[in-house]
Structures are given as structure tokens and as C-alpha cells.
């Protein structure tokens, strides 16, 4: 079943950091072994070779010129369709303008056919359509724009991961392609941190940010009402040549001027901070 929503974000660069890092949260006795937590994917030579081989087969199948891929770090999935290949992959052999139903069917066939390059598991374990949900499909003039989201984890994927984005012309030519689909990992499914333990640690937390005029400003979380713990997510975080996978609580702090602090739901540490406003 497909559901639709439109996601649009535009954030300016801003220097964001915590002025004082809170101590790790106390954790309950673990319900399962967490010695190997967070889970890690490394950018190994073997994984890169598998991705490059899959890419070469993809080019050959569509009779495309030898073109260097633009890969996502660590995942080795297409970050973008190289400009030399735009408009050269025909998903509509009849060559006539087609409607939304025909376009979604053409994209479905393409995803099934090109799973080895779209997924970060480039061989027999590649993701397929049963792992994805079409969350946005828009008709924009001469193009169709589709966004699929990976659905094979018990919690939503955050930090921009788990998305597959495709842009198709009305005549069926593939114009854009980007994939941040991630491997299926066995993360813990139950937190060891209680949500009620988080608010106290973020109370009186200070954030430093820069105004539109470039002036350094501070914000202090003064009341518990300014702290809202959201539902659990899977949070992949890039760390040089590794991708770390956490079970995390997104915690929105502030009022008007807000940040989202991602707290490790297993070990209690702070994973990341995102500014929710333009400065």
C-alpha cells in the first residue's frame, strides 16, 4: 500500500554545538547483549568492488557508455545519476507520453531490475519492492518525481537514510536517481533507556548558534515543558569510512527556537544535534 506526503526542507549552514556535554544517561540492565552496539558498516574494498561490478553490469544492460559512478560514502549506492547518463535510460519503450499509473509501473519495474545498484547490498541480498513504500509521487510539468522509503526496520530510518529518489520524464526517460538505502541489520528492538530519564539530563542545556546577521547567540533550556521526547528511530551516522547504526530517541528542545537532540536509546549517550530553524 502506498501513502503520500511531501517532504521539503531548506536549511542554511550554521555552526551548532553544545556548550556543555551532558553526562551519559543511566541505563537499565540490558535485555540483550550490546557488546557490538552500535552496529557498524565499513567502506571495505570488497564492498566497493561489489558495487563497481554491479554498476558495470547496469551500464552494459542498458547499453550505456562507460561512466564513473557517483557513490554515497560507505553505502556505495548512487548519490546521483551522472549527467552523461541523464535522459539515456528509457523506461518506456513505446516512447509516448504516459500517465501516472504507467509511470509508477515503469518505476516499479526499474527498481526490481536495478536493485543491485540501488541497494547497498549489491548481490543476492539486495532490497526489493516489498521493502519499500512510495511516500511521494508528484506530477511536475514535464516530469514525475517519486520518493520511496525503506520500511524493513521496526522503526523509521532518520538522518536522510532509507530514501530512494527517482525523477522520470513524461516520455519515460530517467533524469535523476539517488539512493540512500541501507543494509538490513539486527538492531535492538527495545530501548534500555526510559523516555522519562531523558528530560532531566537536557534541562538547563545551553546551545550556541549564529543569527542571520552573524551574531553569536545562546539559548538555555529552562523548563521541562521545552523538552519533548519523540518516538524511536534508527539513526545511521557517518563517521569517516564507517556508518554507525543506533536506536535513538529524537528529543525536540526549545520553544520557537528549537533543536532536535538524538539520544542513544541503548547506552544513553548523545548521538547528534540538528538545528530546526534557519539562521
Q: What is the pLDDT of residue 93?
A: 77
262 close to 249: Cβ distance less than 8 angstroms: yes
Collapsing DSSP to helix, strand or coil, 19 comes out as: coil
Tens digit of pLDDT at every position of the chain (279 positions): 334 333 333 333 333 333 333 333 333 334 445 678 999 999 999 999 999 999 999 999 999 999 999 999 999 999 999 999 999 999 987 767 788 999 999 999 999 989 899 987 766 566 778 899 999 999 999 999 999 999 999 999 999 999 999 999 999 999 999 999 999 999 999 999 999 899 888 999 999 999 888 899 999 999 999 999 999 999 999 999 999 999 999 999 999 899 999 999 999 999 999 999 987
In the chain, domain spans: 17-37+187-275, 43-179
CB-based contacts of 9, cutoff 8 Å, min separation 6: none
Does the global pTM surpass 0.85?
Answer: no
**Alpha carbon distance 60, 188 (integer Å):** 40
pLDDT (0 to 100) of residue 279: 79
Residue 149 has phi, psi (to 5 degrees) of -125, 135
CA distance 45 to 43: 7
Structural contact between residues 7 and 137, judged by C-beta atoms closer than 8 angstroms:
no
Amino acid at each position: 500500500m502506498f501513502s503520500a506526503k511531501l517532504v521539503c526542507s531548506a536549511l542554511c549552514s550554521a555552526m551548532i554545538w553544545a556548550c556543555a556535554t551532558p553526562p551519559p544517561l543511566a541505563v537499565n540492565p540490558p535485555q540483550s547483549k550490546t557488546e557490538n552496539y552500535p552496529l557498524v558498516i565499513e567502506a571495505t574494498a570488497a564492498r566497493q568492488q561489489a558495487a563497481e561490478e554491479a554498476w558495470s553490469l547496469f551500464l552494459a544492460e542498458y547499453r550505456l557508455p562507460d561512466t564513473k559512478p557517483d557513490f554515497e560514502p560507505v553505502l556505495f549506492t548512487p548519490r546521483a545519476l551522472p549527467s552523461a547518463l541523464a535522459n539515456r535510460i528509457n523506461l518506456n519503450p513505446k516512447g509516448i507520453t504516459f500517465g501516472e499509473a504507467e509511470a509508477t509501473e515503469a518505476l516499479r519495474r526499474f527498481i526490481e531490475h536495478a536493485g543491485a545498484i540501488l541497494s547497498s547490498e549489491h548481490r543476492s541480498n539486495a532490497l526489493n519492492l516489498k521493502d519499500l513504500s512510495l511516500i511521494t509521487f508528484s506530477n511536475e510539468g514535464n516530469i514525475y518525481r517519486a520518493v520511496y522509503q525503506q520500511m524493513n526496520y521496526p522503526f523509521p530510518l532518520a538522518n536522510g537514510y532509507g530514501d530512494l529518489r527517482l525523477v522520470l520524464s513524461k516520455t519515460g526517460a530517467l533524469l535523476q536517481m539517488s539512493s540512500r538505502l541501507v543494509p538490513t541489520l539486527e538492531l535492538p528492538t527495545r530501548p534500555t533507556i526510559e523516555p522519562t530519564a531523558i528530560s532531566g539530563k537536557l534541562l538547563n542545556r545551553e546551545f550556541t548558534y549564529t543569527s542571520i546577521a552573524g551574531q553569536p547567540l545562546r539559548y538555555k533550556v529552562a523548563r521541562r515543558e521545552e523538552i519533548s521526547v519523540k518516538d524511536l528511530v534508527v539513526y545511521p551516522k557517518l563517521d569517516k569510512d564507517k556508518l554507525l547504526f543506533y536506536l535513538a530517541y529524537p528529543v525536540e528542545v526549545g520553544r520557537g527556537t528549537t533543536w532536535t537532540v538524538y539520544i542513544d536509546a541503548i547506552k544513553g549517550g548523545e548521538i547528534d544535534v540538528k538545528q530546526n530553524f534557519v539562521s
